[in-house]
Structures are given as structure tokens and as C-alpha cells.
Structure 1
């Protein structure tokens, strides 16, 4: 199995998912908060997504990491590099649980995983796919150096795609 890294930032630990993370993940994915990600999702689909986030490490050498706040030890969401049949390109994505938005966690976690992917995997580009109404995540993408790419193939019809280039 591919080793799943643990990454550290000033305020966060990005660590492998464990079963104790599943209840909060499942609650998020079953809630209206997941509507920008095709949700709310039914229970069996949520389990498949959680398991896929872990399996991608073995299949592609990247996947999802949980976002944990160093000061409290609380898991506040997830950041990941997604790929596979449902993704035209490798995607940098994130989600934060209720009450943790607006604190810079997505930007800090996304930047750390983006940099890890460029340095460790040798990728030259990543994209993020957004529902057209997800302005907050598009703003995070712009803070991470993402540039809107209307020529990129979207994951779903109507998606807005932002692109990150290594070295920028």
C-alpha cells in the first residue's frame, strides 16, 4: 500500500482518514452543505466516497487527508487530490464542516496539498471543479493561485474549472 503522508502547516495537521472521521464526514455529505458537491448523498454513496478517498492512495499515490486543527485536535474537514474515471484531470478539492469556514483552513490545507503534489508527485498542473454558485470556494482557489480555465473539460456540465500550475 502507498504510504499516506501526514503534512503539517502553521495551524493544521493534514492526516490520513481513520474510521473515527466517518461520522462527521457522513453527516456533512448527507446534509444540504454538500449540495455544491452533488449532494445531499445517500448513506451507501457516502461510504463509497469515503472508501474511495482512502483507496486512491493505493491506486494513484494520492487521495484525501483530513484537516485537523493543531491547537484543538479537532477534525474540521477534508482536502484531497481526486482522480479516476469521474475526473477528467487530477483535482484539488476541499470541504469544511459547519462552523469552520472563514478561518483560512481551506486555503492553508489546499496550499499545502497542492505544493506536496507538485513537489512529491511531480505534477505540473491541477484543477479544481466548482458548481457555478460556489463563489466561496472559487475565492479560495484564486487565493491559492488558481486561474479560471474555460477551455478545461469540466467534471460535470456547468462546472467552473480553476487551474493551478507548478511554479506559480
Structure 2
């Protein structure tokens, strides 16, 4: 399966050993914009869907690690489950300790390069809660803008940020 490497990060498919880091994130206030603190069974199914997405689609969101460490610090990348209106690139960093270092941007840019390059996507969106100011700022730093015509995935309220293709980036 695909592994992406940036200057500071390694992005790899999720594995069972990443469950504790994902669980801790999902049960924390940090998850308020990605489903919120959920019942344990829901968190388990969500994590299993991350692994299953790779098996069914052949791609999926990547576990983010600092290169040289195998500790999961985030989940970033392509996501397109059945029923999703469009192919998405999403991101979440698991702890406050990894905020403010540019890791989310570095990983998201690598994921966007991957979906437009290796996967051959012609478009990608990010679904973001209006109150998620940090995620909205990241989308804008990546060159995305709100697409008022796009349909969200049914989570309400949701803004749809459309990412520019590489040839359309400034």
C-alpha cells in the first residue's frame, strides 16, 4: 500500500496498532468537529472503516507519524465512502502537542499531491464545520475556497471547500 514521505513526516495506511491513538483522539474534546466524543462502539466502527476504506477503495486516509517514529499523531488524506457526495481530503491531528508545527498542512499538501497525481482525481473537497476556524484556515492556506454550489455530506452545518488542481494553484 502507498506510503508518502515529506520533509518531516511519514504517511502510511492505518493499522490495528494505531487504535489507541485514534481512540484517545476520538474520545477527547479535539474530536468535536469530527463526530465528537462518541460511544466506544461507534469509535471502533469508525476506525474499522478507516482500515476498510483502504481494502475496498485501494486508498484512504493516512496515519501521520513524525519520520523516525511510528507513533500516530494524526489522520490525513483521501476519503470517499459510499454515499459521500464527492471525494474528500480530510485531516485531524490527534493531540495539542502536534499543533502549530505545520504538520497538518505538510501532510494535507502531500495527500492533495497524491490524489491529484497518483490517484488522478480531477477535483477534491474538504467538508468543514463552520465553527472549525483552524481547519478552515488550513483549507485556505492550501488554496481551497468555499464552493457554495457543492453539496455537503448531510452533516449539518457543513462548508464545502474546493481544492485547486495543481495546475490551478497560484
Q: Structure 2: 5+ residue runs without aligned partners?
A: none
SS in 1 for 2:74: strand
Indicate which of 15, 19, 28 corresponds to 1:18.
Answer: 15
Q: Structure 1: 5+ residue runs without aligned partners?
A: none
* Shift of residue 73, structure 1, vs aligned partner: 4.1
* Shift of residue 97, structure 1, vs aligned partner: 1.6
Identify the range of structure 1 (105-114 vs 25-34) with the bigger mean alpha-carbon deviation.
25-34
| Count of aligned positions | 165
Indicate which of 37, 42, 46 corresponds to 1:40.
Answer: 37
SS in 1 for 2:73: strand
The list of structure 1 runs, each at least 4 consecutive aligned residues, that deviate by more than 4 angstroms after superposition, is none
* Shift of residue 74, structure 1, vs aligned partner: 3.2
Counterpart of 1:163 in structure 2 is 162
Residues 1:62 and 2:39 are matched in the alignment:
no
SS in 1 for 2:24: helix
* Shift of residue 157, structure 1, vs aligned partner: 2.3
Give me the whole-angstrom Cα distance separating, in 2, the residues matched to 1:42 and 1:80. 24
Give me the whole-angstrom Cα distance separating, in 2, the residues matched to 1:83 and 1:41. 22
* Shift of residue 62, structure 1, vs aligned partner: 1.7
The Cα RMSD (Å) is: 1.3
1:38-84 per-position Cα deviation (integer Å, ceiling 9, x unaligned): 21111111111111111112222221211000154432111121112
Counterpart of 1:134 in structure 2 is 132
Give me the whole-angstrom Cα distance separating, in 2, the residues matched to 1:122 and 1:27. 34
The 5 Å alignment of 1:1-168 reads 4-98=1-95, 99-155=97-153, 156-167=155-166, 168=169
TM-score relative to the length of structure 2 = 0.91
Give me the whole-angstrom Cα distance separating, in 2, the residues matched to 1:55 and 1:74. 21
* Shift of residue 20, structure 1, vs aligned partner: 1.6
